[in-house]
Structure formats: structure tokens, C-alpha cells
A and B are shown apart, each in its own frame.
Chain A
Amino acid sequence: MFAYVVRRALYAIPILIGVNLITFVLFFVVNTPDDMARMHLGMKRVTPEAVQKWKAERGYDKPLLYNAEASGAGMLTDTIFFDKSVRLFAFDFGASDSGRDIGADIGQRMWPSLAIAVPVLLLGLLVYISFAMLLAFFRGSYLDLSGVVLCVVLMSISGLFYIIGGQYLFSKLLHLVPVSGYEPGWLAWRFVLLPVAIGVFAGIGSSSRWYRSIFLEEINRDYVRTARAKGLPETRLLFRHVLKNALVPILTGVVVVLPTLFMGNLILESFFGIPGLGSYTIEAIQNQDFAIVRAMVFLGSVLYILGLLLTDISYTLVDPRIRLS
């Protein structure tokens, strides 16, 4: 087991190098730092001095890959590539283009993101599985049919509609919860309630339909037929045997996204003004803060690869038939 985990973790290294190279090419080779500076300063105020100053303030004034002026190891380390890309491997994110410490920002803004993402995930699982079980239990009936139709309709509605509609209904008309904002500590529940509810609701269509098909696949298996033939009651069959086996693909699907919960939900957070990593990312994109976007790309990849690793491990834990190789 340990050797397997180590091997999988080692496999992540070339992938992270690849991600790093892609972002480096995207951010520094397609457009030179000069282009970025000109874009940021605006067309009118561009003078060579201003561009130089902008670059120097943010450390973009070094050579890209190879510094001929420096000596010794500095030839490789005193470059943009080392400064901005290689340092990411040590989770040293540096300063944003507006001068803030990205690492500290991330550590601080992670918690509001989790306050939204974790309840959405857990409540969502509960709701989707119950709904899908209900449909699977009454499979082939009108209840099932209308449930599936409802799912298709719900998943055809843009997620933005749920957010805007929910905000309007619960905050503006009914005054149940504040429209947006956040407060640290336990008082946050008032602000978290609506985003969580909307996050769960927005996923009902696609997730329930998917879980239902997993349940139905399981119901059509031989062991279920055997159990039924032996006289096991339908409810017990469904809740004891089918649910247990169907949870394997469902849970492994959940494990993949566990680490990425830290990244937060981009749209929900920015609509509800929650100071999490999702809104952080959106703000960075809108302010064209390349340093933050670069850091988030790297962080996101690391978390995704962590998710893959966890999935592999959890597979072997829940399903003993799968051997580690």
C-alpha cells in the first residue's frame, strides 16, 4: 500500500511540471512582460520608463530562462522562470501584481470557501441519493417518469438563473436572509444558508439522474435477481444491497472533488460576496492579476492530482476485488 501511494505520488511530479510549463508558456512566452505592462498601464500612459518601472516592481524585469549577467547558480535562478514558476513547487506563491502576499491571502480566504463547499457537497449527496433512490424504487411508474422529466428540465436551466432567482425570492421578496456578504465565525450561517441551498438545488437535475442510472444498473444485476427470487423484500433489497454497491461509484466520484473544495465555487461566491478563493480567483481574472491566476492554476492542479490519488486509494479500500498493481 505504502509503496503504491509513493509511486502514484511520484507520477504526479511530471504532471505538475507539465502544468507549470503550460502556464509559463501561456503567461510569459505568448505575451512578453512588456505586453502585460502596456496592457496594465493603459495605452495612453505607456512610456518605456513606466513599463520598466512596472516590470521592476513586480519582478518581471529579469530574463526569461537564462540570465547571462548573473554568476554561478544565479544564471538559472535569477530568471523569471525560476522566480515565478519553479518557486510554485515549494508553494511559494510570491506577491500578486497589486503587491499582496498570495500565500497569506489563500490561507485566509480558504475558510469561507470551505464553509460553502463542504455543506453543499454533504447536503447535496444526501438529497441527490434520496431522490435517486425514490425514483429507482418506483422505476417504470409515472412518478419515475415525471421525476426524470423534472431532472432534465432542471438541468436545462442555467445555474445563473438559480442564483439570481433565489437571491430575488429569498432575500429581496421574503427578506429571510441577507442578499450578500459574510461574517467570520459562527455568525456566518446567515450568509451561508442561501448559497448552500442554491448550490444543492442547482445540482439536483444532473446528479440525481446520474445516480438513478447507477442504481438501475445495479438493480439489473444477477445478485439482485437472485436475492429477489429468494424472497427478500424490495425495500430491504434496495437499501441494504443495491445502495451499498451503488455507493462505490458515487463515493469515488465524490473523493475526486474533495481536495478541489478548497478552490471554492467561483460563481456562487462572487454572486453572494463571500470572500473565499472562488471570488478571489474571479476578482483576479477581472482585474487581470496574472500572478494570482497563475498561483490558482497551480494550486488547482495540485489539488486535482491529490484527488486522483485519493480516488485510487479509496477504490482499493471499498472494493477489495481491486488489487494494487
Chain B
Amino acid sequence: MIQPVILWTDALVYLLVVVVVLFAFYARGREHLRAPWREVVRSRIAVASLVVLLFYTATGLLDSLHFRKVLPQQDGQQQVQYSGEVLSLLDELLGPMRTQEEKTYSAPFATHLYTKEAIIDADGRQTRDYPRLRYGGAHLADPASEKGADIRQRSLRALGQAGAVLLLLTAILALLLARRWRCSPLVALRRVLAGGSVVPWRTALAFVGLFLLLIALIANLSAWYHMLGTDKVGQDVLYQSIKSIRTGLVIGTLTTLVMLPFAVFLGMMAGYFRGWVDDVIQYLYTTLNSIPGVLLIAAAVLMMQVYMSNHPEMFETMAERADLRLLFLCLILGITSWTGLCRLLRGETLKLRELDYVQAADAFGVGRFTIMVRHLLPNLLHLVLIAVVLDFSGLVLAEAVLSYVGVGVDPTTMSWGNMINRARLEMAREPMVWWSLLAAFAFMFTLVLAANLFSDAVRDAFDPRLRAQR
């Protein structure tokens, strides 16, 4: 009864997933590729941030399965009509959060609106008071006395559910580890809980537990309360924050996906062929680099806006339009950010091409292209990987700034930048509305911090030269 919609970014996101999975299979059988990763997962910080990243990624992937629902059939209508609204699997899972809209601002866990309004009571008299919310705490007869107990009861239930799932996961982990370590599950369990395993499973379990608790809390409470309040038009802030995860991840990953072919291919060409090829490629990246990044992005996005507003017929739904804008933003960010990696790879290729094994391959008559792909590329991969993970957090932060400038994602796309942009004037309000801003910053901070810590671990594992300095 639904029509799947594959947006451009969805397709690319899943392409990226396929690439990562294929690479994992490729790396499995190769010791030199496995060893650094094994070192990464030995670090407690890296494992903790990996768990955070995985939960964020899972949310983003769920939010990347889009479809349109069938509209209710009207009389005399033969064809099936699909709704213009594109939903994702995540929207279905979050259910009531999306639809339960209030009139305007309400504080986290509030039962009443944040602003006074004229209310006409049963006797026909008009008073100015804070009206009850339509959904938040609407199931309570007397919010003042019942709210605390209700929230506590639901939270306890969430705690129980999360604990049960965590216990189940721990048991499964103990069984799996017991098979690998060839010992009894109890011994394995004790070792994990004592922190005696090489891979810090205890840390991983603690963070998984934390996220399970958060999910359970959302599942138990979000239908009854606005856990992070509502914004100006009454939309749930928590829902917006969660939906923004996908935007952040898409910008952080697809941008690199876009720029990688340019950077790797051109960088290797410049370093390997030298001569005029090198000159042309150097000229290209110096020119692109010399335009201030924000201005180039702004100019390109402005031009795209003109194009889109003059060609409205190209987009069937709002979501497709917003999605294409997101993709275009990734493209532009990619074009402005490939130069750094390109320069780095060029320098490294210049060094590598003089090494004996490359010279030997050349002497054996191996073709230039084969040398580049078989002999140079594998030795550059660690640099590429480090650059990719290092760039990620910067891109997530850049999205917020660009959306503030007005050249970021489409205003209808939910993103932390848009949330901040809309909410920044709310700080001047009396009394202040702080929850939108803080929610956006907190969600962004968690992702960026995890990405930064993880990328540090990856860099240390893949670049032994740097390790000496720590």
C-alpha cells in the first residue's frame, strides 16, 4: 500500500553502505589492513565513540528509507493516488511525535503552553492564562499533582525495559565470546565485566546500555510528553533533533564520497606523471583554493536557488526538491574541500614513485595505470582514510554555519543548522526559550565529539609516525 521513494541521497547513502561492507570483506583476509583496526577497537575511547556513531548511523539509515502513503480512495476515482508527503521508516517508528503538534512554544515536559492566551471558560468569562497543551500531558486529570509520579513511573518502566534488553545482549555476547575463547560462558562474562578483555567490551556494553535507556525513554514518554518541548510552530523539538541526524550524516559522508574520486585520481596523476599534468592540476587546485570557501559555496547555492525557482516543474514533491538541494550542497562542499587531500596525495605519490618497488614494476614493463592502481593506491589508502574521518566532524559543524548564512540545506529540511537559525532570536525573548537551541547543540556536540575522538584513534592506528608524539 505504499510507494517506495528513492531520493538521490538515499541511493548514495546505501551505495556508501555497500562500499563500506565490501571494504570490510576485502580487509578481512588481509592482515596489514586488519591490524590497525584491531588496534582502534582496543582503545576504550574509540569503542565508546564507535557505539555512539553506530547509533547515530542506524538512525540515519532508518531515516533514509522513504516512501509515500496511499491517499484514501475517493468516490469515482480509478487511479491510486499517493500522498505528496514523503515519509521515512523513522517517521513511522517515531509515530506520534511527528503529528502531535501544539500551538506554539512549550517547555520540556510541560503540560501548559509557554505563553498566556485568552481562555473562555465554561461560564463564558474570559481570562488570560496558560492553556493546557493539546497532547503534552493531556492524559493527566490534574497535571500539578500527577505529573511527577507519571513521569517517574514511565521512566522506571523504560529503565526496566532497557535493562532487560541489555541483559539479553550481555548474555549473547558472553556466549559468543565463550565460543571464541573456548571457555565457559560464565568465565567469559566475568572477564568482560572485570574489564579483562582485550577489546573493551565493558565500555561498549555501558554505552549500548545508555543508548538503550535513551531509546526506551523516548518510546515510553514521547507519546505523552514533549520531552524537549516544542518550537514556535508547536513542533516537537526532540523529533526535529532526531530527524536532523540524517542531514548531518549525509553532509559529513556524501561530501567526502563526492570529493574522493577527484582528490585521489588527480593527486595521484599529478604526483606520478609530473610535468605538465602536474602543472595543470596544481593550477586547478590553487585556483579553487583561492576563492574563499564560504563565498564559493554561497555563490553556487545562490545560483542553484535561481535555477530551482525558475524550474519548479522538475520536482514532484517538496522532499525531492529539498533532497536535491542537499545533494548539491554536498557536491559544492566536496568541490571546495578536495584540494587539501589532493595536495597531500600528490606529495606522497611523488615520494612513493621513486621507491624501488615502483621502479622495479616500471622496469618489468608494468603499465602506468596498473602501477597507479596496484602499487601506489594501496599505499595511499591510509592517508585517504585519515582525511575522511578527520573531515567528517568539520563538515557537520560547517552545515550549521552555512544554514545560518542562508546557503545551507533547504529550509524545509530538518537540520541542526536550521534549528539554530530559527531559534537564535528566541534567546532575546522574555522569558527565554532555550530548549530548541540547546537540543540542537547537544545532538550536534555528541556526534562531533564522538567523530573527533574516533578519528583520533583511527589516525593514531594508521599513522604510526604520529603515535610517538602522544
Contacts and interface: CB of A to CB of B under 8 A. Distances in A.
Chains A and B belong together in one complex: yes
Interface of A: 14-15, 18-19, 22-23, 26-27, 30-31, 35-36, 38-39, 43, 152-153, 155-161, 164, 167-168, 172, 179, 213, 216-217, 220, 260, 263, 266-267, 281-282, 285-286, 288, 290, 293-294, 296-297, 300-301, 304-305, 308
Given A39-B310, A156-B445, A160-B400, A22 B291 contact: yes
Given A27-B299, A159-B401, A282-B406, 19 more contacts: A15-B287, A26-B300, A31-B306, A31-B307, A38-B310, A39-B310, A152-B453, A158-B448, A159-B397, A220-B469, A266-B294, A281-B295, A285-B405, A293-B295, A296-B295, A297-B292, A300-B290, A304-B290, A308-B290
B291 A164 contact: no
Contact of A172 (B298, B427, B448): B427
A293 B302 contact: yes
Interface in B257-287: 283, 286-287
Nearest to A205: B452
A194 to B, nearest CB: 14
Given A15-B283, A267-B401, A297 B310 contact: no
Contacts of A263: 292
A8 to B, nearest CB: 12
B283 A18 contact: yes
A290 B294 CA distance: 15
A297 B298 CA distance: 10
12 contacts: A152-B452, A157-B441, A158-B397, A158-B400, A161-B445, A164-B437, A216-B469, A260-B292, A281-B294, A286-B405, A293-B295, A296-B295
A245 to B, nearest CB: 15
Contact of A217 (B309, B393, B453, B469): B469
Nearest to B437: A164
Given A156-B393, A217-B469, A285-B406, A293 B298 contact: yes
A30 B304 CA distance: 9
B452 A301 contact: no
Contacts of A159: 397, 401
B291 A30 contact: no
B67 interface: no
Contacts of B437: 164
B290 A19 contact: yes
A36 B306 contact: yes
A250 B453 CA distance: 24
Contacts of A281: 294-295, 298
A267 B404 contact: yes
A22 B292 contact: no
Contacts of A27: 299, 303
A35 B303 CA distance: 10
Nearest to A298: B291
Nearest to B469: A216
B208 interface: no
Contacts of B309: 38-39, 43
B407 interface: yes
Interface residues of B, number: 46
B449 interface: yes
A261 to B, nearest CB: 12
B310 A31 contact: yes
Contacts of A213: 469
A15 B286 contact: yes
B406 A167 contact: no
Interface string B452-465: 11001000000000
A216 B465 CA distance: 13
A308 B404 CA distance: 30
A152 B295 CA distance: 28
A36 B441 CA distance: 36
Contacts of A216: 469
Given A36-B306, A39-B306, A293-B299, A156 B469 contact: no
B397 A285 contact: no
A215 B428 CA distance: 43
B189 interface: no
Contacts of A296: 292, 295
Contact of B307 (A14, A23, A30): A30
B424 interface: yes
Interface string B141-167: 000000000000000000000000000
B45 to A, nearest CB: 9
Nearest to A216: B469
A220 B470 CA distance: 11
B298 A285 contact: yes
B299 A26 contact: yes
Contacts of B427: 164, 167-168, 172
B283 A158 contact: no
B444 interface: yes
A252 to B, nearest CB: 16
Given A15-B290, A157-B445, A158-B444, A23 B310 contact: no
B282 to A, nearest CB: 10
B468 interface: yes
B46 interface: no
A129 B420 CA distance: 32
Contacts of B81: none
B223 interface: no
A23 B299 contact: yes
Interface in B286-320: 286-292, 294-296, 298-300, 302-303, 305-307, 309-310
Q: Which 8 pairs between the two chains have the least Cβ-Cβ distance?
A: A300-B292, A18-B287, A156-B449, A156-B448, A301-B290, A304-B290, A216-B469, A31-B306
Contact of B306 (A35, A267, A304, A308): A35
A297 B441 CA distance: 31
Given A27-B303, A216-B469, A19 B287 contact: yes
B212 to A, nearest CB: 24
Contacts of B468: 220
Nearest to B403: A160
B404 A160 contact: yes
A168 B432 CA distance: 10
A212 to B, nearest CB: 9
Contacts of B424: 160, 164
Contacts of B283: 14-15, 18
A16 to B, nearest CB: 8
Contacts of A305: 290
Contacts of B444: 158
A281 B441 CA distance: 25
Contacts of B306: 31, 35-36, 39
B464 to A, nearest CB: 14
Nearest to B289: A304
Contacts of B295: 281, 293, 296-297, 300
A318 B456 CA distance: 32
B424 to A, nearest CB: 6
